[in-house]
Structure 1
Amino acid sequence: MQKIVFIIVLFLFQGITGQEIVILDEEDHQPIPNVMVYNWDKSRTTLSDFDGKCDLSRFDQGERITFSHIGYQNFRSTKAHMLRKGKLYLALNAEQLDEVVMSISKWEQQKKDIPQKIALINAKTIDFTAPQTSADLLQNSGKVFVQKSQLGGGSPMIRGFATNRLLLTVDGVRMNNAIFRGGNIQNVISIDPFSIKSTEVIFGPGSVIYGSDAIGGVMNFYTNNPQFSKTDSLNFSGKGNYRYSSANNENTFHLDFNLGKKEWAFLSSVTYNEFADLKMGSHGPSSYLRNSYVVTENGQDELRENQNSQKQLPSGYDQINLMQKVVFKPNNNWNVNLSAYYSETSDYSRYDRLIRPSKDGLGLRSAEWFYGPQKWFMGNLQFYKNGKGKFYDGLKISTAYQKFEESRNDRGFQDPIRYMTKENVDAISTNIDFENKRIGNLRLYYGGEYVFNKIGSIGNEYNVEILALSPSASRYPDNSTWQTLAGYISGELSAKPNFTFLSGLRYSHVWIDAVFDQTFYTFPFNDADLSTGALTGSIGFSWFPKADLQLTVNGSTGFRAPNIDDVGKIFDSEPGSVVVPNPELEPEYAYNLEVGIQKNFNDKLMLKGAAFYTYLVDAMVRRDFQFNGSNEIDYNGELSNVQAIQNAAKAYVYGFEFGLDAFLTESLSVNSNLTLTNGIEEEQDGTDTPGRHVAPTFGDFHLIWKKQKLKTDLFVNFNGEISYDDMAMSEKTKEYIYAVDADGNPYSPSWYTLNLRSQYQFSHALKVTANLENITDQRYRSYSSGIVAPGINLILGVGYTF
């Protein structure tokens, strides 16, 4: 009798386990949890578990069932057919309108409800494109233009704005500090692309949520989070990566590992990059070649011929990135996250300054010009609480400390004096954000922010002949401070199932306190004491007049308050010109309108378009100035024209952005982006000049083939021309970085590259990448960039998950 019972139980157990299938992602074969499975009238439903396993026992054998998940295409089949296959691979939607974004309100919202354009770059895309730095990560999206003054850099341009008119955040913490400059900035390279889970780029003003600087856009980088164990045992996992790039003999090593229990989880990550000198392409303007460079031997500077004029000497550098996260989750309502990030580069040359010709045009102006190590540390403690509160349904509290360190070192050819400045910023920030969704179809988001920056700045002169160090003028007023206090409220109203309305307001107040040292320069003022406020707002809607058609309209304002770089900097902005402090600055304001349209043709073709217009008043721009009644002063031994940042212009920028996604077959798809931008700065005397950070027309076209474990991407990147007449005045003085037109004037030529990416998944654990970029070996320099882009470039990568 017992034997019969055992046989029956065993039969039933086999019958149950034989009813399971596994649901996996078509691209990376990762399990997909929470796939909803239902019959025709949804009278029977089930969900896949964390491991992608799904029990179909509640359905009849011949019953037709549907598999549905946000972000994936629906799949329909019979139960019997699925059980024979055992596995189901789901494909991503043509356009994931139901994707969740965090950037607009700092809380999860569906992308389809957002009236602003947002570009999402997920971990799969980052892994496939294999960017060297996070600047390359943005550029690879095809939607963000990136300028580079040197190999160790990358300054994004979005909708005609750049540098301190764009905002960077890491895990919700503001990275912009009080010395972010109007010139090109390189801080984005401090963010390790191997640690990034996703990146969200907001196009247009984001001042309602993020305050000052968010005029042209916001770039939010979200890093990987520790994973908890689903059982009582310890969960251990990790990943190792290696990447090689032939254009600069890159060697990159990455390792991360995760330890997880039910309530505790730890994630450690380390990446080391070694970049040698970058080699440019063979076909392009000869003026880009590096024909000579300076070598210092026995204390003497010598101009030496470059044996390989395509090699950009010196441009290489090293970098290390570290990240440690600890998460404690005592229950489903509370989550405490402690994170630490550290990035440090070696010294690296500012290449565009090293190729400046001397005054007589026969040699080079500088013997050396390099940045000291760029260091960034952030410690971030975040508390999350879910559940019904008296005034909220969700609460986030974030307190962060950041330390920035950078230095500049330059010495003229055969000049014994090396001029050195060193800066550091201590930044403290506290954010408190609430979500409340209790008022019918209205969701409210509100909160406050406080940021405090303290700047340390010193200057020195070092005599390389007698090895003597002496003090000199600092770049910024030492011990100056910048702080802001703000509060905001925004709302999302689902007026109808197909119509969502969003609006918000923010008030920010900014204080600057800086005392100027009179030791080296006799300033006509003693300090800069600024106190100013700004009210910004946004209003917009997302409307689906048909299920396959989306229309969006968004109006918003943004502002940028002066920072320490604006009011207190002393710096040679270009050969023969020096920027001096101006404590009389006022904030600049932007008014923006954006209209978007998106059409889905049977999940086979998706067309997207957006038009935008931004008007900037009281624009802070660098213009000629007087210092103590004089147009010229002596700076580092050279008589230089005086300039200062002034509220001297108005500006307007407008343009169009287009996108296309086409799924030709199950394996073959097409993706393309195109951005056209125009911008004008209007001077006080009524004259117009082209905007400095208005990128040329740029875009890409991708032909993507995916089959089982292999993915390939044959694509073209292209940039339009910027003629001499359409070039900003500040760019026209940099003849040494541009090609020469038929009239002998500098201009930025158009260019294109043909590229091939491929990735093969040998197993769940092992993945190999082989990319060939710039196949035709074009020699090109992106607009406003000092360094020439890589020539033909073989990239090899291997990743192993354990």
Structure 2
Amino acid sequence: MMFNRNRLAIAVMAATSAMVNAEQLPAAQPTMMQQVTVTATRTEKVVKDVAGSVTVIDEEQLESNLVRDIKDMVRYEPGVVVRNDGRTGNKGFNIRGIDENRIKIMIDGVDQAKSFQPGGNYLRSERNFIDIEAIKAVEIVKGPASSLYGSDAIGGLVAFQTKDPADYLKKEGDDSYASVKGSYASANKGLTETLSLANRSGDLETLLVYTRSDYEETKTHSGEDIDGKGRGKADPLDAGLNNLLIKALYQLNGGHRLGLTGEYHDKKTETVLKSIKPGTAQEQVLGDDKNKRSRIGFSHEWDAGHQAFDRMSWQLDWQDTRTDMETRMPAYTSMGMPFANRLQDYHYKEQSYQLNAQFDKSLEASSGSHHLIYGFSAIRKDVINKSVSNNLDTGTSTRTDYIPEVKASGYGLFVQDDVALSDNLAVIAGARYDRFDYDPETTAGFATPSKGLDKGKATAKLGVVYKLHPDASLFARFSQGFKMPDVNDLYHTVSNHGYTFLANPDLKPEESNSFELGIRGHHRYGEYELAGFFNRYKNFIERVTLVPYAPPPNASSAVYQMQNAEKAEIWGYELNTRLWLDEAIGAPQGTTLKAALAYAEGENTEKDTPLNSISPLKVVFGLAYDAPSDVWGGELNWTLVAAKEEKDIARGLDGEKYYEAPGYGVVDLTAYYKPASQLTLSAGLFNLTDKQYWIWDDVREVAQTGRSATPRSGLDRYAQPGRNFSISAKYVF
């Protein structure tokens, strides 16, 4: 199915004609349109004035929905999903069908480490180094954001903001704050404790947030092992997490503010990988993993009132992210080949220095009111991969790295002008130029010299917001995105059991052009936002089969390489609405009905095949009540997801057919109660009807046919939990 651009225009215009004529009176309720974003335009801006789709999830929403991790965080956000990888847990984000390293993830403006996945289940460094208890807000920018944030934002941006002392202190004067919070989740027997301390003494503000969490594997719905043919339950897992956030902010004088931030994230997991080969010696494969992220950052804000800029802000951050995976594998035989009793020791590390600076200037001109921002960013990063196989029978070791050690550097220059041409019309235009240099170096485990990379890329965007009247506006946006090749794409070289992977240091950057058109409004009875989008991508980097695998007796190894082999198009629409039932039908004050929908289609235009990264249609309805006294409230959410059918699923490189995830409906109930002003109790009952269901992103690479096929009985291992609950209690001293 090709995208009919007229359909989008017709749909938006129809919504316009229906909604613009509604009665427009201001509502008293806090709304999603009134939320403030600081990421979408790099300045504070109310969401309703942004030319594009952006979602803001604040601390109150995180707590009321009993969010434990990034997967829970987007549970009710259609168009955004997080995959789960079993042993390594949650991966990165999928936004409108684009995922993994094509989505930029930042914490306090600091780029997070890339996903690195060259070694099957034995080396997977993911991007889940985030503790929700340390987060006060997250902003999700849907669509390319490279004109402001550079490479990797080709599909969107997820920006986390950690908590600040001022979030808990009085606006002025000396003050102190302390709270403790405990929570439990039955789905993984997760027990989490958080201590938060904040203080202001004169011009110095400080904050400490410490979290300890212990949990097991997330239980699947009624999965069992069947005759040793396919494990239907999650692999046993035991995990512990420590996360520490420390901040100190000092108001040097009326114009200068200094900040110092420290973060430490330490997670350890032990896994019994029973699902590798159920019923065999490999069922006793043991995984011992460590994931750490450390950051120290210094920031400076200056309210200068200078002729060249009104305000300057800059920050310098050091960050170290590392994954260590030890896999203990007993001796076994596969495809006639004996494998020794061994310990696989894999290590991946990214260490970076990042400098970011921004200058803001507001001015009046004959063309209108301008808010100009400009600035630069620079990064210096070392990427190290070490892979050692230890034969426990002979005591010998062999080191074979997947990539060389790479010293990467880059810089970016950006400018943006937000112009109010009139009371009804605003235009925002921006451009950015980035340049990257990769310098690979040989190591003891990677002796083959590799060619470096030195490439630059310019991107631009143009957005328009037109107010039809004070409570409704149209918005349109054109934006470009790009992504530099990852070091794994460029240099991955290995010859292993049954396959060979060839490096390709001549890869080009991936590119995208995105168009979005929408309408949003806020009326007496509610609010709405309807947006349609069309994204075109080229030079997509994908794994290509140069030589297909052939089984015995004419056995031959498969040969793969990453190439700029694909062009793709993704289109769809999203709808978010809220209806104030107290105003609309006289329901009790504080009653709200929410509805959100996301639909997308996409195809590989080189092969004329569907894109498996596209999530099926998802609709979420929510009926919420918050008592006017703010003492208690709750929400009932009903999530509906369509089936993923065979016609919408592309086959694998070797012709594999993947499982077709059936559609489902899930009901969740959450509630809170404040028996005292200092105490908040929260509870949630999830999957009330005990439905067995699968999330498409979790099973989209689970083969039903081919040499890597998973038995049907093993599909249960990917099912979501059955009926489960979460509870939490927070006390403020």
Q: Under a length normalisation based on structure 1, what TM-score does the superposition of the two structures give?
A: 0.78
- Mark the CA change 1:520 to 1:166 in structure 2 (over 3 Å): closer, same or farther: closer
Alignment match of 2:436 (pick from 487, 494, 510): 510
Distance between the aligned counterparts of 1:669 and 1:335, measured in 2?
Answer: 41
Distance between the aligned counterparts of 1:503 and 1:640, measured in 2?
Answer: 51
Distance between the aligned counterparts of 1:236 and 1:197, measured in 2?
Answer: 18
Is the partner of 1:567 in helix, strand or coil?
A: helix
- Mark the CA change 1:519 to 1:668 in structure 2 (over 3 Å): closer, same or farther: closer
Is the partner of 1:625 in helix, strand or coil?
A: strand
- Tell whether the 8 Å contact from 2:103 to 2:155 is kept in structure 1 after alignment: yes
Is the partner of 2:71 in helix, strand or coil?
A: helix
Amino acid at match of 2:303: N
Distance between the aligned counterparts of 2:71 and 2:272, measured in 1?
Answer: 16
Alignment match of 1:442 (pick from 355, 370, 373): 370
User: Which residue matches 1:171?
Assistant: 108
Amino acid at match of 2:399: S
Residues 544-623 of structure 1: matches in 2 within 5 Å? 544-570=467-493, 577=499, 579-602=501-524, 604-623=525-544
Query: Do structure 1's residue 790 and structure 2's residue 721 form an aligned pair?
Result: yes
Query: Do structure 1's residue 425 and structure 2's residue 364 form an aligned pair?
Result: no
Deviations 1:179-236 (CA, angstroms, capped at 9, x unpaired): 5889998755321111111111100000011100101110010111123976997522
> Which shows bigger deviation, 208-217 or 230-239?
230-239
User: Which residue matches 2:459?
Assistant: 536
**Unmatched segments (≥5 aa) in structure 2:** 1-24, 333-338, 583-588, 700-717
Task: Report deviation, 1:127.
Answer: 1.0
Distance between the aligned counterparts of 2:188 and 2:137, measured in 1?
Answer: 27
Alignment match of 2:404 (pick from 464, 477, 488): 477
User: Which residue matches 2:250?
Assistant: 328
User: Which residue matches 1:764?
Assistant: 677
Distance between the aligned counterparts of 2:176 and 2:598, measured in 1?
Answer: 44
User: Which residue matches 1:492?
Assistant: 418
Task: Report deviation, 1:336.
Answer: 0.9
- Tell whether the 8 Å contact from 2:331 to 2:342 is kept in structure 1 after alignment: no
- Tell whether the 8 Å contact from 1:144 to 1:158 is kept in structure 2 after alignment: yes
Query: Do structure 1's residue 114 and structure 2's residue 50 form an aligned pair?
Result: yes
User: Which residue matches 2:613?
Assistant: 693
Distance between the aligned counterparts of 2:476 and 2:605, measured in 1?
Answer: 27
Query: Do structure 1's residue 159 and structure 2's residue 96 form an aligned pair?
Result: yes
Distance between the aligned counterparts of 2:220 and 2:412, measured in 1?
Answer: 47
> 1 or 2 for the larger relative contact order (CA 8 Å, sep ≥6)?
2
Distance between the aligned counterparts of 1:162 and 1:557, measured in 2?
Answer: 17
- Mark the CA change 1:418 to 1:725 in structure 2 (over 3 Å): closer, same or farther: farther
Residues 180-195 of structure 1: matches in 2 within 5 Å? 187-195=126-134
Residues 60-459 of structure 1: matches in 2 within 5 Å? 92-97=29-34, 99-150=35-86, 152-177=89-114, 179=116, 187-227=126-166, 234-282=174-222, 289-291=223-225, 311-349=233-271, 355-356=275-276, 367-368=284-285, 370=287, 372-410=289-327, 411=329, 414=332, 415=339, 416-440=341-365, 441-459=369-387
Distance between the aligned counterparts of 1:732 and 1:145, measured in 2?
Answer: 27
- Tell whether the 8 Å contact from 1:406 to 1:423 is kept in structure 2 after alignment: yes
Amino acid at match of 1:376: R
Distance between the aligned counterparts of 2:243 and 2:379, measured in 1?
Answer: 25
Is the partner of 2:90 in helix, strand or coil?
A: coil
User: Which residue matches 1:799?
Assistant: 730
Distance between the aligned counterparts of 1:356 and 1:784, measured in 2?
Answer: 20
Distance between the aligned counterparts of 2:593 and 2:559, measured in 1?
Answer: 52
Task: Report deviation, 1:515.
Answer: 3.4
Amino acid at match of 1:419: Q
Is the partner of 2:318 in helix, strand or coil?
A: strand
Query: Do structure 1's residue 781 and structure 2's residue 694 form an aligned pair?
Result: yes
Amino acid at match of 2:381: N
Query: Do structure 1's residue 652 and structure 2's residue 572 form an aligned pair?
Result: no
User: Which residue matches 1:748?
Assistant: 661
Deviations 1:446-490 (CA, angstroms, capped at 9, x unpaired): 000111111122111122445x35132112212x11221110100
Amino acid at match of 1:390: Q
- Tell whether the 8 Å contact from 1:697 to 1:720 is kept in structure 2 after alignment: yes
User: Which residue matches 1:46?
Assistant: none
- Tell whether the 8 Å contact from 2:544 to 2:653 is kept in structure 1 after alignment: no
Distance between the aligned counterparts of 1:639 and 1:679, measured in 2?
Answer: 34
User: Which residue matches 2:622?
Assistant: 702
Distance between the aligned counterparts of 1:364 and 1:673, measured in 2?
Answer: 48
Task: Report deviation, 1:262.
Answer: 2.4
- Mark the CA change 1:278 to 1:519 in structure 2 (over 3 Å): closer, same or farther: closer
Alignment match of 1:679 (pick from 592, 602, 605): 602
- Tell whether the 8 Å contact from 2:114 to 2:126 is kept in structure 1 after alignment: no
Q: Under a length normalisation based on structure 2, what TM-score does the superposition of the two structures give?
A: 0.84
Is the partner of 2:411 in helix, strand or coil?
A: strand
Task: Report deviation, 1:543.
Answer: 1.0
Amino acid at match of 2:310: D
Deviations 1:501-549 (CA, angstroms, capped at 9, x unpaired): 101000101111113559678x5xx212111110100001111112222
Deviations 1:693-729 (CA, angstroms, capped at 9, x unpaired): 2112223111111213111111112222112332133
- Tell whether the 8 Å contact from 2:403 to 2:446 is kept in structure 1 after alignment: no
- Mark the CA change 1:567 to 1:171 in structure 2 (over 3 Å): closer, same or farther: same
Amino acid at match of 2:608: D
> Which shows bigger deviation, 99-108 or 564-573?
564-573
- Mark the CA change 1:672 to 1:259 in structure 2 (over 3 Å): closer, same or farther: same
Distance between the aligned counterparts of 2:654 and 2:669, measured in 1?
Answer: 35
- Mark the CA change 1:402 to 1:96 in structure 2 (over 3 Å): closer, same or farther: same
Q: What is the RMSD of the two structures over their aligned residues, measured on CA atoms?
A: 3.0
Distance between the aligned counterparts of 2:150 and 2:250, measured in 1?
Answer: 30
Distance between the aligned counterparts of 2:467 and 2:348, measured in 1?
Answer: 51
User: Which residue matches 2:711?
Assistant: none
Deviations 1:107-150 (CA, angstroms, capped at 9, x unpaired): 22232221011101011101101111133213343442121112
- Tell whether the 8 Å contact from 1:420 to 1:459 is kept in structure 2 after alignment: yes
- Tell whether the 8 Å contact from 1:508 to 1:533 is kept in structure 2 after alignment: yes
Percent identity over the alignment is 21
Task: Report deviation, 1:280.
Answer: 1.7
- Tell whether the 8 Å contact from 1:243 to 1:797 is kept in structure 2 after alignment: yes
Amino acid at match of 1:487: L
Task: Report deviation, 1:106.
Answer: 2.4
Is the partner of 1:190 in helix, strand or coil?
A: coil
- Mark the CA change 1:578 to 1:258 in structure 2 (over 3 Å): closer, same or farther: farther
Deviations 1:281-316 (CA, angstroms, capped at 9, x unpaired): 24xxxxxx3417xxxxxxxxxx9799xx87523234
Task: Report deviation, 1:368.
Answer: 2.6
Is the partner of 1:194 in helix, strand or coil?
A: helix
Larger Rg: 1
Distance between the aligned counterparts of 1:398 and 1:781, measured in 2?
Answer: 42
Is the partner of 2:40 in helix, strand or coil?
A: coil
Distance between the aligned counterparts of 2:494 and 2:517, measured in 1?
Answer: 40
Task: Report deviation, 1:779.
Answer: 2.0
- Tell whether the 8 Å contact from 1:202 to 1:218 is kept in structure 2 after alignment: yes
Task: Report deviation, 1:173.
Answer: 1.3
Task: Report deviation, 1:580.
Answer: 3.2
Amino acid at match of 1:462: N
Is the partner of 2:697 in helix, strand or coil?
A: coil
Distance between the aligned counterparts of 1:174 and 1:388, measured in 2?
Answer: 29
Task: Report deviation, 1:390.
Answer: 2.8
- Tell whether the 8 Å contact from 1:515 to 1:528 is kept in structure 2 after alignment: no
